[in-house]
Amino acid sequence: MTDLLIIGGGAAGLYCSSLLPEAAVIERGESCGRKLLLTGGGRCNYTHASSVPELLEHYHGSLPFIRKVLYSHTPEDIINRFRKLGIKEKDEDGKIFPETESSHDILSALLKHNPKIILGKVVDVERRGDYFQIKTEDSEYSARKILIATGGNAYPQTGSDGLGYHIARKLGHSIKPQHPALAAIALTPSLGESEGVSTYITLKKGRKCVSGMAVITRKGISGPAAENFSHLLNGKEEIEISFSDADMKAIRRDQGSMLVKNALPLPVRLSYALIGELADRKAANLSKKEENTITECLSRHKFMAAPIASSAMSTAGGVSTDEINPATMESRIVPGLYFAGDIIDVDADCGGYSLTWAFATAAIAAKSMKQ
């Protein structure tokens, strides 16, 4: 029998264990923190130096719940915690990285004070009186309080395979439908002939829009704009993408002798992908219809779009926030059961916001579990 047990050795689980060195961590993989090592392109953008009101603009879910969590453990608290763990920060336009720019250093800092790592896949959790019985494939453990920090079902190759949802549902919790978030987006038709081009775009779905940099891929788009938009997509849906608001009348008037591909404020390969042979026409020779066609293709290009699940770094949906106390992260249904991180029905934009959420919820849970 142990008092405290954490299921999941990812960002949330390890942050909690760094604050609760007496707790044991069960990790299903061969090692802890595999997804953490991938964040920020391996540089680990571990929080964002913004005020809570500014942070709230980058989260999706119950705002009262999110607000309570972020005020309880702020980015400043996260930075200070990592300083105590030996990590000096580096600020890049508000994005906070370790000074060494290595996610391995963040992982090492979190593992430094916790030798109680149990490697094994949890297959069942039962509530028995005032304690929990946790079964792995080859052992059993008992604990009075447990934290589920297994992540969602994004990037299953790193261990986030949706197991936590099964455990939470069995223990009586409601699970909101999940779909990929922070994912690249597949487009039909694709723009594969301009693969590798980086450009600023605006994606629109109904009244909702997201602007930012994107990279054209063979299947669609990746980069911040795609990742921040992906949570809005439920399967395959029609969207509009604006690549440029170029004034074709002005181009025709002032740059009439130029070829369209050279007059447009876009990479030439992308111009070909969007407007085809019209890119090789002189601007002055365009008909009114052709001018309108180009404007439509550049500013309101329609695609069928779907998030690429295999690329998702986060999950939208999860354990209902109505059933979790944001002041403690304890279940309102099962005493002694706690949640932290991506398993909760909250997701965030890229830029350190997801890790901020993981660390904040984990810190609140650690404080409550210790009491």
> How confident is the model at residue 155, as a pLDDT?
60
- The overall average pLDDT reported for the chain is 94
> How confident is the model at residue 96, as a pLDDT?
97
> How confident is the model at residue 153, as a pLDDT?
79
pLDDT tens digit string along 291-343? 999 999 999 999 999 999 888 999 999 999 999 999 999 999 999 999 999 99
Taking the whole predicted model, whether its pTM rises above 0.85 is answered as: yes
What mean pLDDT comes out for the span 200-223? Answer: 97
Look up residue 247 and give its DSSP letter: -
User: Residues, the chain, total?
Assistant: 371
- Two tokens, residue 299: 């500013």
Measured CA to CA in angstroms, residue 47 lies from 133, 146, 212, 352 at distances of 35, 26, 20, 4
Is pLDDT above 60 for 288? yes
Q: Among 339, 350, 355, 366, which Cα is nearest to 65's?
A: 339
Residue 286's pLDDT band, with cuts at 50, 70 and 90, is very high
| % of the chain exceeding 90 in pLDDT | 89
∠ Cα 28 323 136 (to 5°): 20
> How confident is the model at residue 317, as a pLDDT?
94
Within 8 A by CB and 6+ apart from 16, the residues are: 6, 23, 147, 149, 340, 362, 363, 365, 366, 369
Q: Where are the domains of the chain?
A: 2-180+313-370, 185-307
Question: What CATH number is given for 2-180+313-370 in this structure?
Answer: 3.50.50.60
Three-class secondary structure of residue 347 per DSSP:
strand
pLDDT tens digit string along 40-59? 889 999 999 999 999 999 99
pLDDT tens digit string along 79-100? 999 999 999 999 999 999 999 9
Which of 152-156, 157-161, 204-208: highest mean pLDDT? 204-208
> How confident is the model at residue 40, as a pLDDT?
87
What mean pLDDT comes out for the span 344-363? Answer: 97
> How confident is the model at residue 160, as a pLDDT?
58
> How confident is the model at residue 113, as a pLDDT?
76
> How confident is the model at residue 156, as a pLDDT?
58
Neighbours of 41 (CB within 10 A): 9
